[in-house]
């Protein structure tokens, strides 16, 4: 088999950082870690090629070379994904689609031969077995949450690492919180599943052997979902690994604001080389936090929490949302004041969105308030739904 793995292009939004990347002479911020992992799940003897459309052009010759085109995407890449699928159809090359966008909205796409949804460790082997027997189905999906210790090391051989500002690594999946607007629980569950120390360091070794020196983004949606394991196993082992190699990497990740409550954890993270963290602040308004179920952010001084993280040497980036039903009229001024007072170095501010399948989506649909399809772009000029008192 000849397999072409394609990562669609990001439009000019927060997600592609095209203009900022020119300052560091890079083509893209992060590699397509999901597709690199899928490549390692495919039979070793198959020929594989990866095209990240954010760094390279996808040619007709690339498509015609392949027996199958595997495509994975997030909602923000929807338009580019549609164009790739259409081009494959013109070349009569079969498409296998996976990833978060297709898992929650596969019925919106025509021209795909096989949808291999949910988590690939479960559904991809089933598809491959049926493909070998000549009876591959159109749809594969599962509610099973696989053990991430079974996840192979990504196939970094397929990537030109010099084109990226950072490389990526996944330690865990799932989040114990249940914010109404978030699809993490929908995709990965509420019980954090973590890799063991040996596997985590094996992936570190693989990146080190590439010759990479610099930033690694630990892509977990909530890195501190299992704080005890981090403090007793992962971080002490990582500190030792880093010291033995003269600290070749620095790390950034995503975590809930509850990180500020654990000084021991913050100390271990910075000692291991973590120097930046993205935190979902969302809003300084208690009513809006309660409305969306962001209970981990309530009943606390959010500015003081961020200051505590900064005092441990962590650059704090923040996600912010406007458009909650509970937002007061002065919410824009309050958001600006909060960002300035907290010293957050980068703020992602956008309108409230309702990803398909989330609790928010279901509530708004039940209230007949949805007006636009979810695009994944939180800086859309047009809101996805109308206010509760509008017709």
Categorize the per-residue pLDDT at 391 as very low, low, confident or very high, splitting at 50, 70 and 90: low
What is the tens place of the pLDDT at every residue in 205-221?
A: 999 999 999 999 999 99
Going from N- to C-terminal start, the domains of the chain cover 2-140, 166-352
Determine how many CB atoms are found less than 10 A away from the CB of residue 389. 6
Q: Which CATH number fits domain 166-352: 3.20.20.70, 3.20.20.150, 3.40.190.10, 1.10.8.10?
A: 3.20.20.70
Question: What DSSP line would sit under 315-378, residue for residue?
Answer: EEEEEEEE--TT--TTHHHHHHHHHHHHT-SEEEEEE----TTSHHHHHHHHTT-B-S---S-T
**What is the pLDDT averaged over residues 73-101?**
97
What is the tens place of the pLDDT at every residue in 88-102?
A: 999 999 999 999 999
Rounded CA separation 26/332 (Å): 34
Rounded CA separation 346/169 (Å): 22
Q: What's residue 177's pLDDT? A: 94
Q: Say if 2-140 and 166-352 have the same CATH topology.
A: no
Angle at 314 between CA 225 and CA 344, to 5 degrees: 100
**What is the pLDDT averaged over residues 327-338?**
97
Q: Find out whether 263 and 312 touch, Cβ atoms under 8 Å.
A: yes
Does residue 226 have a pLDDT over 80? yes
Mean pLDDT of the chain: 96
Does residue 320 have a pLDDT over 70? yes
Q: Is the whole-model pTM more than 0.85?
A: yes
Domain covering 2-140, topology: Rossmann fold (3.40.50)
Q: Find out whether 265 and 230 touch, Cβ atoms under 8 Å.
A: yes
């Amino acid at each position: 088999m000849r397999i072409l793995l394609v990562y669609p292009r990001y439009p000019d939004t927060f997600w592609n950082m095209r203009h900022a990347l020119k300052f560091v002479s890079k083509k893209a911020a992060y590699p397509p870690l999901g597709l690199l992992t899928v490549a390692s799940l495919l039979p070793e003897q198959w020929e594989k090629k990866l095209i990240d459309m954010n760094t390279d052009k996808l040619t007709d010759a690339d498509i015609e070379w392949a027996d199958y085109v595997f495509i994975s995407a997030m909602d923000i890449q929807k338009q580019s994904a549609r164009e790739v699928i259409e081009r494959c159809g013109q070349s009569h090359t079969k498409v296998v689609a996976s990833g978060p966008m297709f898992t929650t909205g596969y019925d919106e796409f025509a021209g795909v031969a096989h949808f291999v949804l949910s988590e690939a460790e479960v559904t991809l082997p089933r598809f491959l077995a049926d493909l070998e027997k000549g009876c591959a189905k159109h749809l594969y999906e599962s509610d099973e949450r696989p053990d991430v210790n079974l996840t192979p090391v990504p196939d970094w051989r397929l990537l030109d690492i010099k084109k990226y500002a950072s490389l990526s690594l996944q330690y865990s999946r799932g989040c114990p919180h249940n914010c109404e607007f978030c699809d993490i629980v929908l995709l990965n569950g509420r019980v954090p599943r973590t890799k063991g120390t040996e596997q985590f360091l094996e992936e570190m070794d693989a990146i080190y052997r590439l010759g990479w020196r610099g930033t690694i983004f630990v892509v977990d949606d909530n890195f501190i979902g299992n704080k005890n394991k981090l403090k007793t196993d992962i971080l002490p082992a990582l500190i030792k690994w880093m010291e033995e190699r003269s600290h070749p990497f620095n790390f950034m990740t995503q975590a809930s604001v509850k990180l500020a409550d654990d000084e021991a954890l913050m100390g271990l993270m910075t000692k291991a080389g973590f120097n930046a963290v993205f935190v979902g602040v969302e809003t300084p308004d208690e009513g809006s936090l309660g409305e969306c179920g962001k209970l981990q952010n309530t009943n606390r001084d959010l500015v003081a929490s961020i200051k505590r993280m900064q005092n441990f040497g962590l650059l704090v980036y923040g996600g912010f949302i406007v458009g909650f039903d509970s937002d007061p009229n002065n919410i824009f001024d309050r958001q600006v004041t909060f960002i300035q007072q907290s010293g957050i170095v980068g703020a992602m501010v956008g309108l409230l969105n309702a990803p398909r399948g989330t609790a928010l989506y279901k509530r708004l649909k039940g209230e007949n308030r949805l007006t636009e399809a979810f695009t994944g772009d939180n800086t859309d000029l047009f809101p996805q739904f109308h206010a509760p008192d509008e017709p």
